[in-house]
């Protein structure tokens, strides 16, 4: 194995806590097998650091199969490291060359404060969902599954949007730190289905309002989010969000008038 092993130099962001100041620290990663995943390479680096009495690099990760959305950091300026349609846990060392120098940074976005080293706080995403990213249906009150017919194409488009893993790469890569792609994915998923119709416009309004409450920037159509999204979620969904948001302004106002008039 050592015949093919590669040697890398890592510049890793180290920050002991949310309020501490951080800095880059350089580590040598020797004898790295090309068959390892990127996170396994970091495991090896951490085992060696621990043996030397140095605290390991903290990074978020869980399923290591690209679906939980826990992992993610920036490698040489690209969220998840630049392999198309992939999270960093699915990136393998065979894509790197001997002698490569890599800079590892946490997601850089005001809305995602650093927790430690490469870990950030993405709880703003949960709050966007809390604002309206659901269908209000209590357990037990559902009709038969086939009582509601959904055209196959609508179900497919809904699924294209619904597969967002909430990793935050879109925000990290966006020069403005905007959360439009994440928010649009949920809004479009539900707007595409009959189940999502009753609350459709309220939802768009409430979720967009929540983005503005958080420290996200505005969307100016750079499109970098789509380029790094591990699930390839299309920015067409942002157009869909904008349409629903505009319609919402008109509708919600009218609904308020109607409700006020009858009351």
Partner 1 sequence: MTATTTTTSTGLLDARSPGGPIETRWERCKFDLKLVNPANKRKFTVIVVGTGLAGASAAASMAELGYEVEAFCYQDSPRRAHSIAAQGGINAAKNYQNDGDSVYRLFYDTVKGGDFRAREANVYRLAEISTAIIDQCVAQGVPFAREYGGTLANRSFGGAQVSRTFYARGQTGQQLLLGAYQALERQVAAGKVKMFPRTEMLDVVVEDGRARGIVVRDLVTGRVRRHAGHAVVLATGGYGNAFFLSTNAKGCNATAIWRAHRRGAMFANPCYTQIHPTCIPVSGDYQSKLTLMSESLRNDGRIWVPRRKGDTRRPGEIPEAERDYYLEARYPSFGNLVPRDVASRNAKQVCDDGRGVGPGGRGVYLDFADAIARLGRRAIEERYGNLFEMYERITGEDPYSAPMRIYPAVHYTMGGLWVDYHLMSTVPGLFVLGEANFSDHGANRLGASALMQGLADGYFVIPYTIGDYLVDHMGEKLSTDTAAFAAAESEVRQRIERLLGVRGKRTVDAFHRELGHLLWEDCGMARNDAGLRRALERIPALRQEFWEDVNVLGGGDELNQALEKAGRVADFFELGELMCRDALHRSESCGGHFREESQTEEGEAKRDDERFSYVAAWEWAGENRAQVLHQEPLTFEYVHPSQRSYK
Q: What part of residues 32-71 is at the interface with partner 1 (CB under 8 A)?
A: 33-37, 39-40, 43-44, 47, 50-51, 53-56, 58, 60-70
Q: How far apart are CA 153 and CA 138, in angstroms?
A: 27
Segment near partner 1 (CB under 8 A); pick from 22-30, 103-111, 154-162, 222-230: 154-162
Q: How far apart are CA 162 and CA 231, in angstroms?
A: 10
Answer for which of 76, 130, 218, 221 binds partner 1 (CB under 8 A) is 130
Closer residue to partner 1, CB minimum distance, 146 or 262: 146
Answer for which of 2, 19, 152, 175 binds partner 1 (CB under 8 A) is 152
**225 lies in the binding site for partner 1 (CB under 8 A):** no
DSSP state of 47: H
Distances (CA, A) of 263 to 135, 232, 248, 251, 260: 26, 47, 22, 18, 5
Answer for which of 17, 77, 198, 223 binds partner 1 (CB under 8 A) is 17
**146 lies in the binding site for partner 1 (CB under 8 A):** yes
- When computed from its CA atoms, the radius of gyration of the chain, rounded to whole angstroms, is 22
Count other Cβ atoms within 10 Å, centred on residue 36.
Answer: 18
Closer residue to partner 1, CB minimum distance, 123 or 220: 123
**144 lies in the binding site for partner 1 (CB under 8 A):** yes
Determine if residue 63 is left, alpha or beta; phi over 0 gives left, psi from -120 to 50 gives alpha, anything else beta.
Answer: alpha
Site for partner 1 in 155-194 (CB under 8 A): 155-156, 158-159, 162-163, 165-166, 189-190, 193
Residue 31 and residue 21 in contact, taking contact as beta carbons nearer than 8 Å:
no
**241 lies in the binding site for partner 1 (CB under 8 A):** no
């Amino acid at each position: 194995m050592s015949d093919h092993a590669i040697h890398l130099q890592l510049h890793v962001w180290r920050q002991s806590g949310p309020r501490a100041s951080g800095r880059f620290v350089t580590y040598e990663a020797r004898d790295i097998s090309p068959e390892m995943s990127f996170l396994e390479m970091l495991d090896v680096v951490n085992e060696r650091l621990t043996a030397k009495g140095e605290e390991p690099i903290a990074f978020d990760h869980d399923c290591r199969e690209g679906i939980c959305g826990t992992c993610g950091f920036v490698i040489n300026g690209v969220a998840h490291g630049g392999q198309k349609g992939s999270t960093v846990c699915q990136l393998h060392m065979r894509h790197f060359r001997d002698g490569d120098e890599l800079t590892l940074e946490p997601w850089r976005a005001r809305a995602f404060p650093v927790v430690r080293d490469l870990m950030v706080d993405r709880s703003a995403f949960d709050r966007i969902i809390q604002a309206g990213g659901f269908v209000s249906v209590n357990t037990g009150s559902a009709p038969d599954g086939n009582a509601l017919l959904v055209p196959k194409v609508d179900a497919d488009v809904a699924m294209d949007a619904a597969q967002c893993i909430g990793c935050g790469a879109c925000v990290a890569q966006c020069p403005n730190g905007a959360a439009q792609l994440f928010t649009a994915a949920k809004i479009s998923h539900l707007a595409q289905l009959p189940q999502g119709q009753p609350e459709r416009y309220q939802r768009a309004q409430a979720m967009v309002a929540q983005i503005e409450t958080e420290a996200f920037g505005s969307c100016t159509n750079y499109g970098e989010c789509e380029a790094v999204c591990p699930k390839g979620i299309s920015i067409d969904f942002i157009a869909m969000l904008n349409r629903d948001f505009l319609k919402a302004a008109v509708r919600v106002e009218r609904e308020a008038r109607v409700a006020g008039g009858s009351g």
